[in-house]
Amino acid sequence: MLIDYGWTDNRQRDFDFQSGYAPARVVEQQRGLYRVVAETGEYAAHVSGRLIYDAGPGALPAVGDWVALAPPAGDGAAIIHRVLPRASAFQRTDAAGKRETICANLDIALIFTALNGDFNPRRVERYLAVAREGGAAPVVVLTKADLCEELAARCARMESVAGGAPVLAISALTGAGLEQLAAHLPPRKTAALLGSSGVGKSTLVNVLAGAALMQTRAISGDEKRGRHTTTHRELILLPGGSLLLDSPGLRELSVAHAETGVSATFADVEALAASCRFSDCSHGGEPGCAITASLDSGELDAARWANYQKLQRELAYEERKEDHDAAAAHKQKWMKIAKGYRALKKRRERWDDD
Ligand SMILES: Nc1nc2c(ncn2[C@@H]2O[C@H](COP(=O)(O)OP(=O)(O)O)[C@@H](O)[C@H]2O)c(=O)[nH]1
Ligand SMILES: [Mg+2]
Ligand SMILES: [Zn+2]
């Protein structure tokens, strides 16, 4: 059972069975409540108080995590005592500035974008950066091929930004491309589904699963409305043996910390920039600027260059913000210490006076 969920010989060898805990994988999370799959079955689970107390930033369990579990005694919930080392993870910073893991142990990131409407290579570049940062191998999935009349041109445009990641066109409606997609989803490997709402992620999950597992957006006037969802689950074991992760949190991934991912996604642009005559070239028309030359010749797409600059600005903004936050926290800490010291000194003076 656990092998179906991606448990490997290496993990088996490294797991501390002496601890009395059992290995399990998190398949769903809703706030503090988890569902996990262990060798002996599926359980509702809580995180132990000790783990909550000890957990560093992003260290609490997330969907896809392997954990050390105390199975339930009687009808109670199981308890998660430890999170096993992650092979990869998608994280974000919440509104309060705290790091949070959205999902873990992903092998593949399926990056969805629809072939109709607002077909947008810039958004895909963003997702490519996030996927690479998270340690998952990206596969670009172009959906709703049945609604697209310029399939070959759009595929070629995507390929030009994908940096070697496979690009596949599919239709959940006609079944086109599904076999090619299945070839990228090997058994026991976990693939996260990235992409804006409405591009057809849940529809694809249902088609691949052969069941209405995920709620899909109802078309207005659809008489079938209200009967789609049977079970909600974020990590889904497909009949073909691969695992798909369709978590709501994945919609909120930002490029904020994805410095390495951005570099990998724009390796061509960074190589060009490195070949400018001046090492501090601002690419604003200096002599010997390789970027300007490539933009002029059309070798570098202006929109791609603009997106690279935009993502760099976002990274820089995030860095400055964090420096600012860290400086503020540092100052506050010292002010508190200084205040405590002054209060202590005052009390001492009073004692001295007595
Ligand atoms: N024509 C067409 N429509 C699709 C296809 N896949 C999904 N849709 C429709 O797109 C809408 C959004 O799909 P959904 O799976 O809910 O998107 P999600 O938000 O990414 O999960 C629904 O109305 C689907 O019926 C497709 O391959 N072709
Ligand atoms: Mg959906
Ligand atoms: Zn330059």
Tens digits of residue pLDDT in 22-57? 999 999 998 889 999 999 999 999 999 999 999 988
For 172, residues 6+ apart whose C-beta sits below 8 A from its C-beta are 143, 144, 178, 200, 203, 204, 207
pLDDT at position 226: 41
User: Is the CB of 29 within 6 Å of ligand 1?
Assistant: no
Indicate whether 66 and 10 sit together in one domain.
Answer: yes
Do residues 55 and 125 share a domain? no
Q: Does residue 274 fall inside a structural domain?
A: no
Question: Where does a domain end: 251, 273, 295?
Answer: 251
pTM, rounded to two decimals:
0.85
Evaluate whether residue 171 is within a structural domain: yes
- Measured from the Cα of 218, ligand 1's closest atom is 23
Establish whether residue 96 lines the binding site of ligand 1, counting it when its CB lies within 6 angstroms of any ligand atom: no
Beta-strand relationship, 66-70 and 22-30: antiparallel
Range with lowest mean pLDDT among 33-47, 146-160, 253-267, 327-341: 327-341
Q: Where are the alpha helices (DSSP H) in 163-289?
A: 178-183, 201-209, 259-265, 267-274
Are 167 and 158 spatial neighbours (Cβ–Cβ below 8 Å)? Answer: yes
Q: Give the number of domains in the chain.
A: 2
Tell whether 340 is covered by a domain.
Answer: no
Atom 9 in ligand 1: residue holding the nearest Cα: 200
Which residue among 116, 174, 203 has the greatest number of ligand 1 atoms within 8 angstroms of its CB, and so is best to mutate?
203
Q: How far apart are CA 288 and CA 277, in angstroms?
A: 5
Last residue of a domain, one of 219, 251, 283: 251
Give residue 42's domain range.
3-85
Q: How is residue 219 annotated by DSSP?
A: P
User: Using CA positions, which residue lies closest to atom 28 of ligand 1?
Assistant: 144
The reply to whether ligand 1 has any atom less than 6 angstroms from the CB of 198 is: yes
- pLDDT tens per residue across span 261-284: 999 999 999 999 999 999 999 999
- Which ligand gives the minimal distance to the CA of 218? 1
